[in-house]
Amino acid sequence: MTTSLKKILKSIAIIAFIATLADGCRKQAQTVSHVIILGFDSMSARDVQRARTPNFNRMIENGAVSLHTRCVRETTSSQNWMSMVSAAPIEMHGVLNNSWKKDDAQNLMPALRNRIGLFPTIFNLIHEQKPDYRQHAFIEWAGETRMYDTEVFDSCCVFREDPDLHEKMDVMKKAISTYLSDRPEMMFVSMDITDHAGHTFGHESDQYLSTVSQMDSLTGILVSELEKRDWMKNTVILITADHGGIGFGHGGDTMEEYEIPVIVFGGRTTKGKVMKRTNMIYDVGATAAGLLGVKLPWECRGKFLEEAFESADSDVYVPIPLVRPFSGSAKGTISIADDAEGAEIYYTLDGSNPDTNSTQYAMPFSIKAPTCIKSIAFRKGCYSDVAVNYLSPACTDPPVSYKLYTNISERQLPDFTKFGKPDAAGYVENFSLEELGLANEDHFAILFSSNLIVEKDATYAFEMKSDDGANLYIDGELVVSNASAHSRKPALGKIRLSKGRHPMKVEFYEDTKVQDLTIRCSIDGEEFRPLINSDLDK
């Protein structure tokens, strides 16, 4: 080996050593002594922007935010809570869905096992590597605990199992009071109340957004108390969700269901940092562990959210606008609002993407024809994401007939030809459950009928999401089959249609718990849009 080559190799080794040392010093500088994870079930990245959330906004202004972190598939709870707190994907931890049970012979074997045979969570790792650290958990959905080794917690309070937790809000309230009295090194709070509101009222409803605002208010109380005590210098709060939602459910593959927020606040987090990289839900657990100086095993795939601690740039957080009404018929005027103080709102009515050259929103307006409204908020030189809302004028003659049959005992889509007189019948604006007032009912079936108006010869693709089962027919042909009992699940189908009227029928049944029916269409490969009343005729 020549002398010059030796010098080059020596220089490379020195540079590598310095880089490793610098990386270690940087990670050491990011560590804190206390971490709080606040998880709000079914709070999508868009939901947290639409709701009135002054405390979240202040935390974002003084911390970092990711609006493009994704949960794992499918977009339901069990596998996503486990991915979050294990810093590992499904393929490693083995919790596949909400039906998962410990010791089931059909389970995917976890890549690692803790003392009770489950994949270790970050709580296990903290317990092993930092045995003096105190850990408290406050969990609203009791089913979540089947995935965790709860013995590693100094206390694990579960809704309705703890004598102090009578109401859902009590979970968050007790978490706050306990933290202030004991100040554990790790606190994990999992709230299900947001998911319940989404299933009951719809993720775009005022009731659901009000629930998000309530979570914001309680979080604000916690942060205010920590700041009074000067604790935020050594504490990082991570706010996130297990998955998002759309309409009355989740479980599908829309970005509204996949994308969750991650707010990082406290410690040495960069103020006002808008993270641009696409992260994964298991990065939340990896970040919580890294902040406490806890090392992850090889089998974890989560990455520390370095971007939350990188230098700030010119980007600022601008929430997406909220259009009211959100979809369907505009029975009155249409309003647009934004949760950022001082934000300007611009919109278009022709389907094009808006910018500051588009119409600036100043007051509510009306429409006279079916319209795709696209709107953005603009603040400090930055745009929000684009809000897309499909609305039609008020419907004076609802085009969809329905027949409702109650007390249905089948666990699958029934044979409607065997039914006699329906228990209720009438007309509604769309193939939807929203107008029927059945949110708290189970064991019923509905037959919807109308005519689809086709403006030109085209290939129609239909996406139907249902909970439980549904079939869609056009001209007597089964186009979309989604008939079995299941949680909210999408199904697709295509059909070539000629210009004119085509009889359209949807059979739907509800078994128990959550219910949903949403239909979208795409014409000749265009973007999917909701089916609206102007597409239909009696």
Asked whether residue 11 is assigned to any structural domain, the reply reads no
Nearest to 252 by CA among 79, 470, 75: 75
Pull the structure tokens for residue 198.
Answer: 């989404």
Q: How confident is the model at residue 26 (pLDDT cuts 50, 70, 90)?
A: very low
Please give the average per-residue pLDDT across 452-467, as a whole number. 94
pLDDT top residue among 317 and 247: 317
Q: How confident is the model at residue 25 (pLDDT cuts 50, 70, 90)?
A: very low
Query: Poorest-confidence range of 13-27, 315-329, 481-495?
Result: 13-27
What percent of the chain shows pLDDT beyond 70? 94
Same domain, 185 and 274: yes
Same domain, 389 and 451: no
Phi, psi of 197 (to 5 degrees): -65, -40
User: Distance (Å, rounded) from C-alpha 89 to C-alpha 71?
Assistant: 10
User: Distance (Å, rounded) from C-alpha 306 to C-alpha 290?
Assistant: 10
Query: Poorest-confidence range of 7-16, 40-49, 205-214, 359-368?
Result: 7-16
Give the count of domains, the chain: 3
Q: How confident is the model at residue 6 (pLDDT cuts 50, 70, 90)?
A: low
Nearest to 135 by CA among 65, 168, 184, 95: 184
Residue 216 CA, chain-centre distance (Å), reads: 16
Asked whether residue 6 is assigned to any structural domain, the reply reads no
Same domain, 446 and 335: no
Please give the average per-residue pLDDT across 97-120, as a whole number. 93
CATH (domain of 508): 2.60.120.260
Please give the average per-residue pLDDT across 429-454, as a whole number. 92
Please give the average per-residue pLDDT across 346-358, as a whole number. 97
- Classify 173 in phi/psi space as left (phi over 0), alpha (psi -120 to 50) or beta: alpha
pLDDT, residue 12, reads 57
pLDDT digits (tens, 9 = 90+) for 138-148: 999 999 999 99
Same domain, 336 and 424: no
Pull the structure tokens for residue 262.
Answer: 């991650």
Q: How confident is the model at residue 489 (pLDDT cuts 50, 70, 90)?
A: confident
Strand ranges across the sheet with 516-523: 489-497, 458-467, 516-523, 529-530
pLDDT, residue 18, reads 41
Domain that holds residue 467: 400-537
Same domain, 326 and 386: yes
Please give the average per-residue pLDDT across 111-123, as a whole number. 97
Same domain, 294 and 334: no
Query: Poorest-confidence range of 83-87, 313-317, 488-492?
Result: 488-492
What SS3 class is residue 460?
Answer: strand
Entry pTM? 0.89
Asked whether residue 251 is assigned to any structural domain, the reply reads yes
Nearest to 136 by CA among 238, 36, 284, 241: 36
Same domain, 490 and 353: no
Same domain, 387 and 495: no
Same domain, 339 and 482: no
pLDDT, residue 288, reads 98
pLDDT, residue 164, reads 80
Average pLDDT over all residues of the chain? 92
Asked whether residue 19 is assigned to any structural domain, the reply reads no
DSSP 93-148: H---STT--TT-TTSPPPSS--TTSSPPPHHHHHHHH-TT--EEEEES-GGGGGGS
pLDDT digits (tens, 9 = 90+) for 217-237: 999 999 999 999 999 999 999
pLDDT digits (tens, 9 = 90+) for 171-189: 999 999 999 999 999 999 9
| pLDDT of 22 strictly over 70 | no
pLDDT, residue 165, reads 79
Nearest to 76 by CA among 88, 62, 90: 90
User: Distance (Å, rounded) from C-alpha 268 to C-alpha 32?
Assistant: 9
In sequence order, the 6+-apart residues with CB closer than 8 A to the CB of 149 are 114, 115, 116, 118, 120, 121, 123, 124
Same domain, 389 and 404: no
Please give the average per-residue pLDDT across 197-217, as a whole number. 95
CA distances from 498 to 434, 458, 460, 467, 476 (A): 30, 7, 10, 31, 15
pLDDT, residue 45, reads 97
